[in-house]
A and B are shown apart, each in its own frame.
Chain A
């Protein structure tokens, strides 16, 4: 059997190398045939992988053009024709004014406000308002849709709009008029370091963090580059920041040696980047950590009245890619809870309670990150805000722990992540009861329940979630400032009462 296998191998080997027998140099270089075979095989495999990767990655990324104007900021998909980027002209002009178009054979006629234009498929010359305009590449007409090369927008758009436009062709950004938002960056303090970005107009970037950097992505803001794209600050914790543009967005990446957080102020014009611990210290009382020494499992009413600082965390739930509930057309839960959170922060601070908002912009924050910050900062209370279109009034939730609670997975000083809340449930319920009582006092329909809602079960301090529904069937009430203030002032009053019962100092 062994001999048969050996013979088989030999035959197979001979079959494989037979084509090389014609090679006149085989006698001189006996290893060449096998080597050439291996190289060819490797080339086939490699070329397949490379081609697949190139084509699939090309198919997966779609290029965009972001347009910034006084009337609207919007983004359009680009298409590639003859190796160039094209954009639909009708879609481009639609948000800026009244526009209509019709095609007649190879001709495509467009009217924007009172300006008439005519394009011809395959031609590089167009007529706009009776004047000839050269395009950088041929006009494309597809199923009645007129496509113009992106590089020609600097010559086409001023004819329609009557004013200058600025095109960042490589990054797909078009600025109509003087709409650019400029910014400066400077270190506001050395120890702890705080990096302040001051923008010439309010901004709302998406903020994401990863080890060693914080990234602000401006998809809707016409932010433009500073004098130098790389900003250095000569600080060990926050050494530099880099501005970049690409595919319709501007990105500022702040490099950091420690975890950092972004805080928005001055109506969205100022973004302060600070180390996570420093950001908390800025808003928390100096000895906020003392609250951690309070035996959290003890009911609030039974705690000894020791003077302690009381520090609250307000969490506007959802954010970034997580929209939460779509309350109505154009009204998302993540936006409503952000304004609720800002209102609650104001109400708490007016009652002398230092407050940290976990997000103050449209930011992606995982549930674990939220719980992590709440636990690390040793706040006295964590309040998550939600909004709902169903039901009426306010619902207050405390944690419903998962099954593991029965087995108590705590190990020494460490608590099981999924049931970390279990020793703090009495204080959470005391806070929830206080909030419910205050709602009742103000005749706001209320209900206190438990809920399987993360990250309540991961938090090691008093934790509750407040879900705000409209008082009537009108969902728009959720975004009304007076209703938001009615609810948040009730929550703040109740939290202040809880603080007073615990004997903590403001």
Chain B
């Protein structure tokens, strides 16, 4: 009988030891971190400006602003500086809208740190609105209150920028099932249907 003795190369033993130490260290780290969920709210660390300054001549636009007290959408005129590009115009329109919602005396307050990350115009007639997580996470839950937000965003864009047929709303660049438990974000909004909703909401309670 021949007894075979094969020694493991030293560099493999070292590699194995390093890996085991690394695994143990990671395990201890994970164990210590367990339960320490990041409790800092998003808005506390979100220091971005609400509306970036835009230079240039101002234009008269119509913003459709939600009012929670009577559940209505009200057309309000505003003078805001608007760039020439359609995409930038859409972004500025939504920023102007957000400024109103984030004011202290807002009639339709949004959560702290709510922001529109970006707006994309994709031909033909598709607008993609990308909200930040604080917008959706801090949004109040309810069919009407979520309806008002969706109608306000979409109707403000479609009323001021021609040729918009459908709108997709994302959160942090990803599709989300609902805004805050009710308003469906999984599909594309038909601007015609939103216009009908906006007309119903403008009637108020």
Contact of B182 among A44, A386, A392, A400 (CB under 8 A): A386
With A43-B16, A59-B30, A450-B197 as contacts: A20 and B6 at CB distance below 8 Å: yes
Cβ A51 vs Cβ B23 within 8 A: yes
A415 at the interface (CB under 8 A from B): no
Cβ A55 vs Cβ B26 within 8 A: yes
Cβ B147 vs Cβ A452 within 8 A: yes
Contact of B4 among A25, A56, A449 (CB under 8 A): A25
Contact of B19 among A36, A48, A403, A453 (CB under 8 A): A48
Cβ B9 vs Cβ A452 within 8 A: no
B135 at the interface (CB under 8 A from A): no
Per DSSP, are chain A's interface residues mostly helix, strand or loop, or mixed? Answer: mixed
Contact of A406 among B16, B147, B190 (CB under 8 A): B190
Q: Which A residues lie within 8 Å of B27 (CB)?
A: 51-52, 55-56, 59
A401 at the interface (CB under 8 A from B): yes
Smallest Cβ-Cβ distance to A26: which chain B residue: B6
Q: Which B residues lie within 8 Å of A322 (CB)?
A: 181
Contact of A400 among B10, B166, B193 (CB under 8 A): B193
CA of A405 to CA of B192, assembled, Å: 11
B8 at the interface (CB under 8 A from A): yes
Contact of B183 among A324, A447, A452, A457 (CB under 8 A): A452
B142 at the interface (CB under 8 A from A): yes
Cβ B16 vs Cβ A47 within 8 A: yes
Smallest Cβ-Cβ distance to A457: which chain B residue: B184
CA of A43 to CA of B166, assembled, Å: 56
Cβ B190 vs Cβ A333 within 8 A: no
Smallest Cβ-Cβ distance to A54: which chain B residue: B27
Q: CB-CB contacts of A22-66 with B at 8 A, as 1s and 0s?
A: 111100110011011100110110011001100110110010000
Cβ B15 vs Cβ A403 within 8 A: no
CA of A47 to CA of B186, assembled, Å: 42
How distant is A117 from chain B, measured CB to nearest CB, in Å? 28
Contact of A391 among B16, B183, B205 (CB under 8 A): B205
CA of A47 to CA of B140, assembled, Å: 48
Cβ B6 vs Cβ A32 within 8 A: yes
CA of A226 to CA of B195, assembled, Å: 60
CA of A58 to CA of B6, assembled, Å: 35
Contact of B197 among A41, A58, A402, A449 (CB under 8 A): A449
Contact of A28 among B2, B30, B192 (CB under 8 A): B2
With A325-B141, A450-B193 as contacts: A44 and B183 at CB distance below 8 Å: no
Q: Which A residues lie within 8 Å of B23 (CB)?
A: 48, 51-52, 55
A454 at the interface (CB under 8 A from B): yes
Interface residues of B in 7-63 (CB under 8 A from A): 7-12, 15-16, 19-20, 23-24, 26-27, 30-31, 34-35
Contact of A403 among B30, B189, B196 (CB under 8 A): B189
How distant is B18 from chain A, measured CB to nearest CB, in Å? 10
CA of A335 to CA of B138, assembled, Å: 22
Interface residues of A in 371-419 (CB under 8 A from B): 386, 388-393, 395, 397, 400-406, 418
Cβ B145 vs Cβ A403 within 8 A: no
With A47-B20, A454-B186 as contacts: A23 and B141 at CB distance below 8 Å: no
Cβ B143 vs Cβ A453 within 8 A: yes
How distant is B22 from chain A, measured CB to nearest CB, in Å? 8
Interface residues of A in 478-498 (CB under 8 A from B): none
Q: Which A residues lie within 8 Å of B145 (CB)?
A: 388, 390
Cβ A19 vs Cβ B141 within 8 A: no
Contact of A447 among B16, B24, B205 (CB under 8 A): B205
Smallest Cβ-Cβ distance to B205: which chain A residue: A447
A187 at the interface (CB under 8 A from B): no
A193 at the interface (CB under 8 A from B): no
With A59-B30, A59-B34, A325-B140 as contacts: A418 and B183 at CB distance below 8 Å: no
Contact of B71 among A59, A400, A447 (CB under 8 A): A447
Contact of B187 among A23, A62, A404, A449 (CB under 8 A): A404
Cβ A404 vs Cβ B144 within 8 A: no
Contact of A467 among B34, B143, B165 (CB under 8 A): B143
CA of A306 to CA of B87, assembled, Å: 55
Smallest Cβ-Cβ distance to B201: which chain A residue: A449
Contact of A388 among B12, B144, B193 (CB under 8 A): B144
Q: Which B residues lie within 8 Å of A392 (CB)?
A: 205
Contact of B144 among A28, A41, A44, A467 (CB under 8 A): A467
Contact of B190 among A19, A22, A401 (CB under 8 A): A401
B137 at the interface (CB under 8 A from A): no
Cβ B9 vs Cβ A23 within 8 A: no
Cβ B193 vs Cβ A41 within 8 A: no
Q: Which A residues lie within 8 Å of B8 (CB)?
A: 36, 40
With A325-B140, A400-B193 as contacts: A55 and B30 at CB distance below 8 Å: yes
Cβ A418 vs Cβ B143 within 8 A: no
Q: Which A residues lie within 8 Å of B165 (CB)?
A: 403
B104 at the interface (CB under 8 A from A): no
With A32-B4, A36-B8 as contacts: A452 and B189 at CB distance below 8 Å: yes
Chain A interface residues toward B at CB < 8 A = 19-20, 22-25, 28-29, 32-33, 35-37, 40-41, 43-44, 47-48, 51-52, 55-56, 58-59, 62, 318, 322, 324-326, 333, 367, 386, 388-393, 395, 397, 400-406, 418, 445, 447, 449-454, 457, 465, 467
Per CB-CB distance, the 7 closest pairs between chain A and chain B, nearest first, are: A402-B187, A55-B27, A19-B9, A325-B141, A403-B188, A36-B6, A403-B166
Chain B interface residues toward A at CB < 8 A = 2, 4-12, 15-16, 19-20, 23-24, 26-27, 30-31, 34-35, 68, 71, 140-145, 147, 150, 165-166, 177-178, 181-184, 186-190, 192-194, 196-197, 200-201, 205
Known: A402-B184, A467-B142. 16 other contacts (CB 8 A): A20-B9, A32-B4, A36-B8, A44-B12, A52-B27, A62-B35, A318-B181, A367-B177, A386-B142, A391-B205, A395-B144, A397-B143, A402-B187, A405-B190, A452-B183, A467-B144
What would 15 A/B residue contacts be, using CB atoms closer than 8 Å? Answer: A19-B9, A51-B23, A52-B23, A324-B141, A325-B140, A397-B143, A402-B188, A405-B190, A445-B205, A452-B150, A452-B189, A453-B184, A454-B184, A454-B186, A467-B142
